[in-house]
Amino acid sequence: MQTTLIVIGLFIFGFVIIIMVAKAKMKNIPLVADHKSILTLTDKNFSHQTKNKLVLVDFWAEWCAPCRMMAPVLNDVASELSGNSFVGKVNIEQFNALAKTYKVRSIPTLILFKDGKEINRFVGVKNKDFLLREISKV
């Protein structure tokens, strides 16, 4: 019986260590600079920047590890878009009113706007192929 408890205890201890290491690595994900064609959206320019365009808007925060993971993906998506299709980003810490307006409850949240109106929403980390496929459907 004691051996079983020791094995279970070691298993739990190892699991806790793995979780702590994973969290530490997630916090150390570096910030990636935005692609030159990514729109920086604010409460003042949001309506103008999403009008008469197809814009995939990323609601993110600097402290959010999954948001940091999305940055290179969004850069790749932005580099492949042409014409009247764009990627935009809203920092919810700076522009919380926009996040409230669009009922963003968790991040990263990606909302696809066409002519200023929401047509689709994706929550969580998504890959480039998925996003390009969803954009091409519109």
- Annotated active-site positions, please? 64, 67
**59 CB burial (10 A radius; 0-12, 13-18, 19+):** buried
* Total residue count of the chain as it appears in this document: 138
Q: Are strands 117-123 and 109-114 parallel, antiparallel or unpaired?
A: antiparallel
For residues 111 and 120, is the Cβ–Cβ distance under 8 A?
yes
In sequence order, what are the residues at sequence separation of 6 or more whose Cβ sits closer than 8 angstroms to the Cβ of residue 40?
34, 88, 89
Residues 6+ apart with CB under 8 A from 45: none
